[in-house]
Each structure stands twice: as structure tokens, then as C-alpha cells.
Amino acid sequence: MLKYLNIVTNWTCNSCCTTCFLWKFIEKNPEKLLSLKNYENLFKSKSLKKLASIYFTGGEPTLNKNFVNILKLAKKHLPKTALSYTTNGVSPKLTLKQIDELAKLNIYPHISLSLNGLEKIHDQSRGIKGNFKRLLYLNKELQKRNIKTFFNLTIFPFNIEQIIPSYNLAEKLQTPINLELCRNDKRYNFQGKKYLFTKKAKQKIIASLKKISKNHEMILASYLFVKKYFKEKNFYFDCIALKKTIYIDPYGAVFPCDGFLKSMKVSNIKRKNFDEIIGSRRFKKLKSLIEKKRCQPCKFTCEIKMSMKENRRKKRKKFLIW
């Protein structure tokens, strides 16, 4: 049964990251984005009634002109489902305006704040001078509004030394922090740069995560994943894609994971009802392919970590029951 729904509301972004090309994307056909009616039909789906969470991402999701109304529809039809989204903090006024509007309907999403390190490294890699200060300002204002926030730091070769300082900053601001590992594919290969870690860099990452993982579930999950991922040349794992997680792009295309590979496209919610998609032969075929690990070894580190975390939780639950 599906547990996590991930929606990319738009690919456009107002940041200028050196590690990503999405900010160069210009939406030439905004009319092709999912309409509010498309979203409403999706959230009405019977197969989503027991959904644990919906995560909205991008690009920068807050730039979608219908963003607030999308969240309102999600809460209306899936009142028990947790809502969360990521933001780069470039436009704190916009985010706070949206949050204040949602609060009028008692909608309080969890917000992930993208962090690359302390001020110098963060602003350089994000390509926006003053972004770091805006991000901290946004975090402070969101917490005043009782919005749960957490920092999300993606580890690259250039910010390994920022892991512990970023953790200390998060502790000081009483804000949880999650750490992800960058992946070496088109998204993180901007201007021909390949983000590969040397043996020394891998050891440094593992040591840093181990040092700060005690009593921190999110960081412990990162540590256990990275340690195993770096150790094995060809990494195979029990993937939860299409079993518990599913992704939808800005135009309605349905995918198993955030790889968004054309060969793994399931269908499109503009052309077919989501419940029909879940019961389709194509869905079952891809789900079987994933279960048999035919698409592995996998380079999409976010999905690997999510699967490992979920499987670890499942094993722990069985142990507690026993």
C-alpha cells in the first residue's frame, strides 16, 4: 500500500546553484502544468486514503502560482495525511505569505530548508548572495508560527568540512538536520563537473556522520546508509518504489522514483485515473521489475536511503512486536 506521495509542482527555480541546472529551465508552456482540477482528482483517489505523507518539491515549489490552493485541496481530501515541502529560502516573504494564508485554515506543513553549509559556502554554491541570512530569517519566522522546520544538507566534495559546523548551527537554532548524499547523474553534473568522492573524502564523511549520529534518528539513517553505500561497489537493496513510494512530475507523469527515467514511466494522471494507474498492467510490471532489482545497481541515493530507512523501521517494528 502506498505510503508516501512525492509531487514535483514545477521545475522552475529562483536559485542559481553551481550543483544543479534546474534554475536555467524556463517553463515555456505553463498551461501544461497540472491544473487544480487535476490535483483534486488525484487527492480524491481511493488508493491514497491511507497515505502517510505528501512531499512537494521542485524546482522551487513555492513558485507555482497555485501552490497554496494545491495544499488546501490536499488537506481537504486527505485530512489525516501530513504535508511537507522543500524551499531554498530565496524568497522568504513569499513563503511566509503562503504560510499565513494556509494557517487561516489550520494547515501547518512541515518545511525542509535547503542548506549547503555556513554562510560563505552556502551563498557561493547557491549562487545567491545573502541567501544564507534569508534562510535563517525564514527558519526563525516559521518557528514563530509553530511550523516544524528542518535543514536538509546535501553532501558534495566541496562541503564535507561543513557537515559538523552545519550540525552545530542546527543544534544552536534548535532545528533538526537531515543529510543527503549527492548523486553522480545529470542533475549534479552541471558544467561538466562530476561529483565523485575520493577514498579520503568517503572516510571523512563517514567519520563526521558517526560523530553526530548519536540520539539523532535522521542522521543515524544517513550514517548507516553512507557507510554501507561507500563500502559496496555495486549496491543492491530492497527498494520501496511503487510499493510504498510514488512520484508525479509537474505535467502529471507518474514514476517510481525521483530518477524520472522515461523507461520507467508508469502513466499520466491527465489521461488516466490514478486508481486505474495503480491497478494497471504497466504498474504491476514495473513494480515486479523493481522488486526483482532489475533496475539496480541504483544511483539515486535519496531513494536508496529512504528504502533503507523504511526497511529498518519495519524490522524494528517486528522485533518490538515479538
pLDDT score of 195: 67
Average pLDDT in the 96-101 region? Answer: 98
pLDDT score of 189: 55
- Tell me the C-alpha to C-alpha distance, in Å, between residue 228 and each of 118, 198, 237, 309: 27, 16, 11, 13
Residues 6+ apart with CB under 8 A from 285: none
Neighbouring CB atoms inside 10 A of 144's CB total 9
The answer to which of 47-61, 167-181, 238-252, 308-322 has the lowest mean pLDDT is 308-322
The per-residue pLDDT for range 61-75, each reduced to its tens digit, is 999 999 999 999 999
- Tell me the C-alpha to C-alpha distance, in Å, between residue 295 and each of 168, 196, 235: 38, 21, 11
Which string of DSSP letters, residue by residue, matches 181-214? Answer: E---SGGG-GGG------HHHHHHHHHHHHHH-T
Is the pLDDT score of 23 beyond 80? no
pLDDT score of 319: 30
Report which listed range, 140-149, 183-192, 290-299, is most confident. Answer: 140-149
The per-residue pLDDT for range 308-318, each reduced to its tens digit, is 888 876 654 43
pLDDT score of 321: 31
Closest by alpha carbon to 163, among 181, 142, 147, 136? 181
The per-residue pLDDT for range 133-186, each reduced to its tens digit, is 999 999 999 999 999 999 999 999 999 999 999 999 999 999 999 999 987 666
- Tell me the C-alpha to C-alpha distance, in Å, between residue 217 and each of 223, 264, 301, 309: 10, 31, 18, 10
